Amino acid sequence: MKYYITTPIYYPNSNPHIGTAYTTVAADAIARYHRMIGDEVFFLTGTDENAQKVFRTAEAEKMDPKVYVDGVVEGFKTLWKALDISYDDFIRTTEERHHAVVRSIFTKLYEQGDIYKSEYSGWYCTPCETFWTENKLLDGKCPNPDCGRPVELLKEESYFFRLSKYQDALLEHIRTHPDFIQPHSRRNEMLRFIEGGLEDLCVSRTTFEWGIKVPFDPNHVVYVWLDALINYISALGYAEGGGYARFWPADVHLVGKDIVRFHAVIWPIILMALDIPLPKVIYGHGWYMSKDGGKISKSRGNAQDSFELIRRYGSDALRYFLLREMQAGTDGAYSEDGIVERLNSDLANDLGNFISRSLAMLVKFRSGLTPAPGQDCPLELELKELSKEVKRNTERKLDACDPAGALEEIWRFVARCNKYVDETAPWALARDEQQKERLDTVLYTFAECIRILAVLTAPFMPGLTPRICCQLGVEESVISWREADQWGILAPGLAVQRGEPLFPRIDISEFTSKEEPETAGEPEFEPIKAEIAFEDFAKLDFRVARIISAEKVEKTDKLIKLEVEIAGVKRTVVSGIAEHYAPEDLVGQRVILVANLKPTKLRGITSQGMILAASHGGSLEILTVGDRMPGGARVK
């Protein structure tokens, strides 16, 4: 079977945050599950770069827009890597492969009369990249409940797309395909919206040049949403590409509830007009909300740095929290305390503890070798029954794009495993020679439960699988979804080992404590150097430099190679900060560079400048400025 799943393509006008991470991690878990059941999977993500707001942000940064988006896109890719996202393709809408498809579709729709030229007079919300008619505005502002920002008046010649012509066909499709828009509450919202009547959509702009030019009228650029939605087929090489023939229609477009409307109205109508099949499911999940009730977003400034969260809790625990806390059909509550709570209770206490105590007993009572089991008792039969039920339900939940529901099921099995340890009390069996065979059965069942848990958790926490396999003394090839409810898979005689705890408990105050550390033995300050003349100081040229990428210099402990941007120009700088910063923590930071220092070679790499850092008593902190300062700004 083939399986095609997509995330939205994100605007690269700011770095990814925990909200954008949710959709990507959820799609990744579903894609991984489908690979495990043997499907041929295509998992697509990417960036929506031709937006006016992206252009405006670059402009405000005084940067060439392409150089700007290149930098932000690197940040997306670095985060996806740190979160173990297994995408098969990453489409950027500035790529020619995408432009060519958008141009040909626009021309085709024009030639067949579905796009026509007229004049647009109305309002535009740039943050939402949405056209609004006067009567839809709320107090003269964007009516989108998450936005409410000022709108701009537009009066320009535009091309229009005949949405109205396809209104009835779309309603018919939604009514006859009950699973097309999910969850069902969103389907009902969409039905009501379409029944209210669709107006033709303005699909070109003339007041700026950033974007895809209309091929037969190059004063116009294609409206960003028309352009963006087409990514789902341009990435497959529409219309001739083998990927398109193999994977279209998509099985699921996973999106946030904010953009269901674009996917459930504009996208199907484009496809109907092109006479190609519609995607099978558009799933609109809820939002992660902060404690104060606002949506987590860059513009609200309530998004924590995802790299820092990964550094603190690890990618698996962060993925687990994100997937577990967003219940189907509702919003999820985001807080760092919430991550710690899930980590300490579900991961350390429930899962980690079961694995570590059962392995400890295997080590203690059977020298770490899995014994051959004897006869099953009702307790084992009950576990076996439950594993079948849990596997079935997990599959059902993942088919319904509900990873939280799937994890809830899996944790029913975790809870049962812990109860099984208490009920069988192996420590008591070990004291009775008569119970040797019973103890063998119990200990073997422990090992099988651990294997089953490694299988079931694999799509959600891919970094955990090899760690469990290592402790269990098996190759990763033993991780087979089909065998998640089969028993007797592990050969007796495996050498298990009790390794590091899989999820050490975390004390949140470690990260939130404001108290100063003990001051015993204060480090000494370096003496101040000899005076210099102002003219000497004035020779130094300090600039803000935006870090685009960072990587450790191979075979060194201290050096990091940075790619920085100053006034739209890239430079390489080698810096001795690797003992204090992880490369991924540096991307996006705006540091201070001594920009006119003579280049020097470090480990064969030419370093064009030096970044400033404060250091005292063994700790070091780079000097940074906020994002109001573009790369290239003077520091004096």
Q: List interacting residues with ligand MSP (CB under 6 A).
A: 8-11, 19-20, 22-23, 48, 228-229, 231, 255-256, 258-259, 287-288, 295-297
Partners of 611 in the beta sheet?
593
Q: Which helix (H) or strand (E) holds 254?
A: strand 252-256
Question: What tokens appear for 132 in the block?
Answer: 């609004």
Q: Assign 3-state DSSP to the chain and report helix, strand, coil percentages, each to 5.
A: 45, 20, 35
Closest alpha carbon to 322 in 17, 15, 26, 584: 26
Three-state secondary structure along 11-69?
CCCCCCCHHHHHHHHHHHHHHHHHHHCCCEEEEEEEECCCCHHHHHHHHHCCCCHHHHH
Q: Which residue, 25 or 455, is less far from ligand MSP as judged by CB?
A: 25
Nearest approach, Cβ of residue 578 and ligand MSP (Å): 32
Q: Which amino acid is at 201?
A: L
> How far is 380 from 347, CA to CA, in rounded Å?
24
Nearest approach, Cβ of residue 437 and ligand MSP (Å): 52
Q: Which helix (H) or strand (E) holds 529?
A: none
- With a CB cutoff of 8 Å and minimum separation 6, the contacts of 521 are none
Q: Which residue, 9 or 553, is less far from ligand MSP as judged by CB?
A: 9
Inter-CA distances, 46 with 2, 16, 114, 304, Å: 21, 12, 28, 22
Q: Do residues 28 and 84 make contact, with C-beta atoms less than 8 angstroms apart? A: yes
Nearest approach, Cβ of residue 5 and ligand MSP (Å): 13
Q: Which residue, 10 or 87, is less far from ligand MSP as judged by CB?
A: 10
- CA neighbours within 13 Å on the CB side: how many for 554? 2
Question: What tokens appear for 409 in the block?
Answer: 């099921």
Question: What tokens appear for 636 in the block?
Answer: 């004096």
Nearest approach, Cβ of residue 64 and ligand MSP (Å): 21
Q: Which residue, 9 or 270, is less far from ligand MSP as judged by CB?
A: 9
Instruction: Give 576's DSSP letter.
Output: S
Q: Which residue, 256 or 268, is less far from ligand MSP as judged by CB?
A: 256
Nearest approach, Cβ of residue 224 and ligand MSP (Å): 8
Alpha helices in 87-166 (DSSP H): 96-111
Nearest approach, Cβ of residue 289 and ligand MSP (Å): 7
Q: Which amino acid is at 458?
A: A
Question: What tokens appear for 134 in the block?
Answer: 């006067």
Give residue number: closest CB to ligand MSP.
19
Nearest approach, Cβ of residue 542 and ligand MSP (Å): 33
Nearest approach, Cβ of residue 53 and ligand MSP (Å): 9
Q: Which residue, 11 or 180, is less far from ligand MSP as judged by CB?
A: 11
Q: Which residue, 114 or 325, is less far from ligand MSP as judged by CB?
A: 325
Nearest approach, Cβ of residue 167 and ligand MSP (Å): 21
Q: Which residue, 166 or 288, is less far from ligand MSP as judged by CB?
A: 288
Nearest approach, Cβ of residue 356 and ligand MSP (Å): 33
Nearest approach, Cβ of residue 17 and ligand MSP (Å): 7
Are β-strands 619-622 and 590-594 bridged in parallel, bridged antiparallel, or unpaired?
Answer: unpaired
Q: Which residue, 333 or 369, is less far from ligand MSP as judged by CB?
A: 333
SS3 for 125? strand
Nearest approach, Cβ of residue 243 and ligand MSP (Å): 18
Q: Which residue, 4 or 413, is less far from ligand MSP as judged by CB?
A: 4
Alpha helices in 402-561 (DSSP H): 403-424, 426-429, 436-457, 464-472, 509-512, 534-538
Q: Which residue, 92 or 295, is less far from ligand MSP as judged by CB?
A: 295
Please give the radius of gyration of the chain, using alpha carbons only, rounded to the nearest integer.
Answer: 28
Q: Which amino acid is at 221?
A: V
Nearest approach, Cβ of residue 406 and ligand MSP (Å): 18
Instruction: Give 213's DSSP letter.
Output: B
Question: Considering all CA atoms of the chain, what is the largest pairwise distance in Å, rounded to the nearest integer?
Answer: 91
> How far is 120 from 13, CA to CA, in rounded Å?
26
SS3 for 285? strand
> How far is 441 from 487, CA to CA, in rounded Å?
12
Q: Which helix (H) or strand (E) holds 339?
A: helix 336-342
Q: Which residue, 9 or 63, is less far from ligand MSP as judged by CB?
A: 9
Q: Which residue, 339 or 455, is less far from ligand MSP as judged by CB?
A: 339
Question: What tokens appear for 243 in the block?
Answer: 């990927």
